[in-house]
Amino acid sequence: MKPPSGLWHWSPAKPGPGRLQDLDGLCKRARTAGLDYITFKALDGAQDRFLTDSQLEEAKRACERAGLKFSLWQYVYAIKPPPEEAQSFASLIERFDPAFAFIDVEKEYESSKKPVSAQYASAFRDALPRFPATIAPFGRADLHPGIDYKAWHDHGFGVAPQAYECDSSELTPAKCAQSFSHLWPAEKQWTVVGFHKGARGKLSGADIGASLRGLPVANISGWYSGEATREQMRGIGSHAGPVPVEIREPGPQTPDASIETVQRQLNACGFTVTVDGNLGPQTREALRFFQIGCCGEHGLERADGELTRETREALAWAASHGGGLGPKAKNFHYQEFRLDNTGDPRVRRRVGLAAQAYRDKFGPTTILSSARSVEHNHAIGGATDSRHLFPEHWDAIDPSPQVHSVSDVRALGAWTGIGHHAAAPQPVDHLDLRPGFSPSNPSVFPDH
Ligand SMILES: [Zn+2]
C-alpha cells in the first residue's frame, strides 16, 4: 500500500495568471514522480483570495486529468474574527469540493491574546463537522507553545508540522513529528518537508529521502515554491510510510510469524496485500516479487512465493528496515522501485546490487523511474523497446543526479546499458542490464 504524498502549491507572483504557470506540466510531473495530491492556496485570512474562482476550477481540472487529488489551503491571520476566517474557508470548500484541506496557522495565531484557535476550530466544525482538515503550524510544537494545539486536536483536525530542514538542524522531520506526538501519533501526521536549505542551496531528492527514512509518518508534503525538481518530488514520492508497531526484527529463537504478520511485513515493504491470515494467490504473488528483489547475502532466486525459512528471515529484516532491499543494497528500498512509481514494487536483485555499486561510487542517488507499464512508458515518452518495460525486462533505472560521465560509469563495471544526454557534457541518465553486452563493454547510447 502506498502512503500518500503531495505538494503544496504557492507562488510569489502578483495576483493574476502568473500564479498558475505550467499547471498541466506540474500536475503531470507530480503524478509521474508518484505523488498523490496538490494543495492549492485559496485564501489569505477571511477574504483575500489567493487564486480566483476560475484558477481554482482550472487547478481542480488539471489535477483530475493527471490522476491527482485536489486540495485547498488557507493562511489564517486573526485580523478578522477567526469565525469569519473559518466560515469563508468552509464556504470555498463546499463550492470546490477538495479531497481534504489544510489551515496554515503561524505567528499571527501564536501571538494573539484571544482564544483564536478554539474560535476558528469551533466555527469550522459548525459548518463542516467531519470534513478532513489539517493544521500546518510551525515545525516544532515545543518551540511555539503559544498556539492552542489541543483545541485543534479536540475539534478533529490533523497536524502537518512544517519540518523545514532549510531553516535549522532542529527542524528535522523526526524531531518535528516527535514534538507533536503527545497529541497526534506520529504515524497519523502529515509532515511537510522543504526543498531548500536556506543560504546553503537546494536539498537534493536523495537528501530529502534520507531525512524521511525511519520516520513513522503516514503522509509527506513537499513545500513547492515554484521550482521543485523531478528528483525532489521523487524524494518525497518514494518515502516508506509507517511501519506497523508489531513488526520487529526477529531474534534467533523467534517462532514463525503468523500469516497476518507476514502480510503486514509485505505491506511495510510497499506491497498491497489484504491482511486476512490467508496465504492465497495475492500474498504469494507479493512474496514472489519480494523474493525476486531481495538483496540479502544470498538471493532467493527460486522466487516461488513459498514461505521458506530464508524468505521469512529476509522479509522480517526488510520490514523492520522500512522496506530495505537487504544488507547487500543497504541504501535502497522496495518503495523506490514501484511499478510506474505508484504501484507495487517490481525490482530484480541484480538491479538492486548494481544500483548499490553505483551509489557506493557516486554517492546519494535518487531513482527517478524503474519498472514501467506499456501505458506509463508511452505517456512519459519512453522508447517502445525500453528496458524499463514490465514484465518484459524491468532491468533499468534512471538515476539522479545526472552529472556523471559515461567513462566514469563504464569504469564502474556494473551495467551493460548506459544511456546519456545527447547534449554536452552528455551526463548519464539511464542504466540497464540488457543481455548481449558486458559490464566491461556496455551498450552506450544517447537517451534524451
Ligand atoms: Zn531510462
Question: How far, in Å, is the centroid of ligand 1 from the Cα of 430?
Answer: 4
pLDDT of residue 212: 84
The residues, ordered by sequence, that sit 6+ positions from 70 with a Cβ below 8 Å of its Cβ are 37, 38, 40, 59, 60, 63, 64, 96, 98, 99
Distance CA 62, CA 80 (A): 32
Cα–Cα distance list, 55 to 73, 75, 96 (Å): 14, 18, 11
Give every strand in the sheet of 366-369, ordered side by side. 366-369, 396-400, 428-432, 417-420, 443-446
What mean pLDDT comes out for the span 45-50? Answer: 96
Residue % of the chain over a pLDDT of 90: 79
pLDDT of residue 407: 97
Question: How far, in Å, is the centroid of ligand 1 from the Cα of 88?
Answer: 47
- pLDDT at residue 68 is higher than 70: yes
Q: Which CATH architecture is the domain 5-237 placed in?
A: Alpha-Beta Barrel (3.20)
Per residue in 293-333, pLDDT (tens digit) is 999 998 887 889 999 999 999 999 999 998 999 999 999 99
Question: How far, in Å, is the centroid of ligand 1 from the Cα of 39?
Answer: 30
- pLDDT at residue 77 is higher than 60: yes
| 102-116, 139-153, 185-199, 362-376: segment of lowest average pLDDT | 185-199
Which residues lie across from 202 on neighbouring strands? 196
pLDDT of residue 205: 87
Q: Which residue has the cell 524468505?
A: 311
What mean pLDDT comes out for the span 269-283? Answer: 96
pLDDT of residue 412: 98
pLDDT of residue 73: 98
223 within 8 A of 194, measured Cβ to Cβ: yes
Task: Return the SS3 of 163.
Answer: strand
What mean pLDDT comes out for the span 214-235? Answer: 83
Question: How far, in Å, is the centroid of ligand 1 from the Cα of 218?
Answer: 30
What mean pLDDT comes out for the span 393-404? Answer: 96
- pLDDT at residue 393 is higher than 90: yes
What mean pLDDT comes out for the span 26-30? Answer: 94
Question: How far, in Å, is the centroid of ligand 1 from the Cα of 402?
Answer: 12
| 26-30, 116-120, 200-204, 348-352: segment of lowest average pLDDT | 200-204
Question: How far, in Å, is the centroid of ligand 1 from the Cα of 167?
Answer: 35
Does this model's pTM top 0.85? My answer is yes
The domains of the chain are located at: 5-237, 246-401
Question: How far, in Å, is the centroid of ligand 1 from the Cα of 371?
Answer: 10
What mean pLDDT comes out for the span 91-99? Answer: 98
What mean pLDDT comes out for the span 350-367? Answer: 97
Higher-scoring residue by pLDDT: 370, 196: 370
pLDDT of residue 169: 75
| 106-110, 193-197, 265-269: segment of lowest average pLDDT | 193-197
226-229-231 Cα angle (round to 5): 155
C-alpha cell at 374: 506499456
pLDDT of residue 172: 85
pLDDT of residue 199: 54
Residue % of the chain over a pLDDT of 70: 95
pLDDT of residue 244: 72
Question: How far, in Å, is the centroid of ligand 1 from the Cα of 228?
Answer: 21
Question: How far, in Å, is the centroid of ligand 1 from the Cα of 28?
Answer: 18
Distance CA 211, CA 190 (A): 15
Q: For 113-198, where are the E strands, in sequence order? A: 133-135, 158-159, 162-163, 190-193
- pLDDT at residue 118 is higher than 80: yes
Question: How far, in Å, is the centroid of ligand 1 from the Cα of 376?
Answer: 13
- pLDDT at residue 448 is higher than 80: no
Question: How far, in Å, is the centroid of ligand 1 from the Cα of 400?
Answer: 11
Mean pLDDT (the chain) is: 92
Question: How far, in Å, is the centroid of ligand 1 from the Cα of 367?
Answer: 10
Question: How far, in Å, is the centroid of ligand 1 from the Cα of 396?
Answer: 6
